[in-house]
Amino acid sequence: MKRALILDLDNTIYPVSSISENLFAPLFEALDQHADSINASDAERVNKIKDEMTRRPFQHIADEFELDAGLKNKMVDILKNISYDLPMQSFDDYQHIRSIPLDKFLVTTGFSKLQWSKVKMLGIEPDFKAIHIVDPEVNQQTKKDVFAGITAAHGYTPEELLVIGDDPGSEIKAAKALDIDTFLYDPENKYPDTQVTYRSANLKDVSDILQQTILILQLSLY
C-alpha cells in the first residue's frame, strides 16, 4: 500500500508554457543576441534550445548544447535572480492529487528563488509535507539523492512510494533507480515507449490506481 506521493513541479503541477513568455523573455533575448556562439546557423537550433528550456533544468541544456561559457554565465546570472510574481494556475486535474489523503512531497530542480516563487504563486505549499528544491548552483545533490533521503527520513519503503512526473530523464529515472513505482504524466503522449509503472494523460488516474491497489491488497488477504 502506498503511504506517500513525490511530485515534480514544472509541467506536472502546472504548464510551463503558461508562464514562459513572461518568464523567459530576457533569456530568449540573450540567446538571440549570442546565436553565433552556439553554432546557430539557423533559427531551428535556437528554437530547440528555447523549447528545451521550458521542459528541463537550464544546466542540463547548457551542457547538452555546449553553450559558450560567457553566454551560460550570463543566463545563469539572470536565472539566479529572477522570480515570478504574476498569477499562476495549476493543471485542472491537479485537484485530484490534492484530495488524496497521503503524505506528499514536492521535489523540483531549478534555481531556488525562482522555484519558490512559483510555489508561492500557485498556492501549493500547504499541499506538501516537505518541499525540496534541487539547485545545481548550490550543491551536487540530485533528485535520486532527495528521494533516498525522503525514504530514510520518514521510514518509508520504496514500495510505499509513488513518484509522479513528466520527465523520463529526471524524476522517473531517479525513481526507477531506487525501485520506486513511477507515474508518467504525459498529456501530449511524448514518451509512448518509456518504461514506467503507470502512465496517463490525466492526474485523476493516480487516485484510481491507488484505489485499485488497495482493493487488490484487500482481496489478497482473504
Residues 137 and 206 in one domain: yes
Q: What is the CA 181 to chain-centroid distance, rounded?
A: 16
Residues 25 and 10 in one domain: no
Residues 179 and 133 in one domain: yes
Among 81, 103, 121, identify where a domain stops: 81
Location of C-alpha cell 509535507: 129
Residues 76 and 141 in one domain: no
Question: What are 24-37's pLDDT values in tens digits?
Answer: 888 888 888 877 76
Name the least confident of 11-25, 56-70, 106-120, 149-163: 56-70
Name the least confident of 58-67, 91-100, 110-119, 202-211: 58-67
Domain that includes residue 45, residue range: 20-81
**Rounded average pLDDT over 100-129:** 97
Residues 149 and 211 in one domain: yes
Enter the pTM of the model: 0.89
Among 55, 81, 107, identify where a domain stops: 81
How many separate domains does the chain show? 2
DSSP label of 81: H
Does pLDDT of 219 surpass 60?
A: no
Does pLDDT of 216 surpass 80?
A: no
Three-state SS at 100: coil
Does pLDDT of 205 surpass 60?
A: yes
